Structure 1
């Protein structure tokens, strides 16, 4: 065994270098954890994309409808957007729309997937399931706007109108749907006897807006606090225009 000073010096250098490496390695995870904590705090403080005033949300819908009418809809890369939406959704509005196949809200308002939280049924009627859906959207997704979307020539409203005038029996669950719409038909008859169907469709939108606020404490309180706005309109099948009511 050689008692060489060079070997001793090399050994000491190796030990010192190794200790430095271990010290640095021991510190790295701590620095990483601190960085992650700071990043998490920044993320928590950053408002979500839909943290906007209710009026701004409504203006976005109006602007989107204008683009749709002008044939100037935005180009979207749906595959890229799909990947970005895996972890969360931040819709700017909830839409209560008629189930009519000619009334697709995302297209009418030129919005992409993830932009609108939609509940649809014939006659854009407020149901208990619809209320629960929008309560979830208000409390968990923090939507600033709910928009009730009726449309011209609505078959569900026409059915309610015909049933009211002819007093005929309807099959299946249709009587439940007609019953939900009939208050709007009665109001329209007293206000606008000229165009009974158009007036009934408009009053049905107003009825839906009222029911959202009065039949849900969660929604009503959010409206009262100024965190949520409820608006409505009628989509014209012929022109593509959404006319606010």
Structure 2
């Protein structure tokens, strides 16, 4: 068992109990009234954000992967979930959210992953479900250094590049960020990574009615960040 697992076992037990209380058929019955949803994790948006930051600090200073009580945790969450944070993250294999935030376990994060951490209809519906039904208090849009999808969008802008299959349409939402970042001081791709995150955060804050209302009421907070592949650190900047 890793050192940080000892500290978190009590919290895991609480989350397991909360998860069991969440109805697995929250959208059943007469429609998405959310009447059968559960109590959530009990964390405020700021507490959830600090928990992510603390986990990333553990990962940077003493990276460990928690595996203790995995069978117990699987049983605890089989009937429901109460994730305390939602992430929009890149599909890059070097950016596994549960690991870079301190070795988290089953049922803690609700994650949307795709190349370039963009938000389409499917992603938006997932985020709305997380906010309204699962009561996840935090949404983090997480870009990362040397993102291949963002680099491709930069090539479209700077070199008029084209890409086969569905890759071209996939990176289209990132192109406006690349256009905005072009010509600015610093690294073109990294500037575009940050701009892409900022634009996605802004889009989510105005997306309605579910997420926008949750942000307005203070039950959900939306932030943006960048993960550094070399250092492992997450910079929250938006």
Q: Same fold (TM over 0.5)?
A: yes
The counterpart of 2:58, out of the listed 59, 67, 90, is: 67
Q: Secondary structure at the match of 2:78?
A: coil
Give the Å deviation of 1:220.
0.8
**Correspondence for 1:149:** 142
Q: How does 1:1-245 map to 2 (within 5 A)?
A: 48=39, 50-71=41-62, 73=64, 74=66, 76-110=68-102, 111-189=104-182, 192-245=184-237
Aligned partners of 1:95 and 1:146 also within 8 Å:
yes
Task: Tell me which moved more, 179-188 or 138-147.
Answer: 179-188
Give the Å deviation of 1:86.
1.6
Alpha-carbon deviations, 1:53-72, whole Å to 9, x = none? 10000000000001111125
Aligned partners of 2:87 and 2:140 also within 8 Å:
yes
Task: Give the gaps of 5 or more residues in structure 2.
Answer: 1-20, 23-37
Residues of 1 paired with 2:106 and 2:165: CA distance?
34
- TM-score, normalization by structure 2: 0.79
Residues of 2 paired with 1:72 and 1:185: CA distance?
33
The two structures, once aligned, show a CA RMSD in angstroms of 1.8
Task: Give the gaps of 5 or more residues in structure 1.
Answer: 1-42
Which is higher, the Rg of structure 1 or of structure 2? 1
Aligned partners of 2:40 and 2:134 also within 8 Å:
no
Residues of 2 paired with 1:51 and 1:176: CA distance?
39
**Correspondence for 1:3:** none
Task: Tell me which moved more, 202-211 or 156-165.
Answer: 202-211
Aligned partners of 2:156 and 2:175 also within 8 Å:
no
- TM-score, normalization by structure 1: 0.77
Aligned partners of 2:88 and 2:111 also within 8 Å:
yes
Give the Å deviation of 1:233.
0.6
Q: How many residues align?
A: 200
Query: Higher helix proportion, which one?
Result: 1
Alpha-carbon deviations, 1:10-42, whole Å to 9, x = none? xxxxxxxxxxxxxxxxxxxxxxxxxxxxxxxxx
Give the Å deviation of 1:49.
5.7
Aligned partners of 2:116 and 2:171 also within 8 Å:
no
Alpha-carbon deviations, 1:119-142, whole Å to 9, x = none? 000000111100000111111100
Q: Secondary structure at the match of 1:131?
A: helix
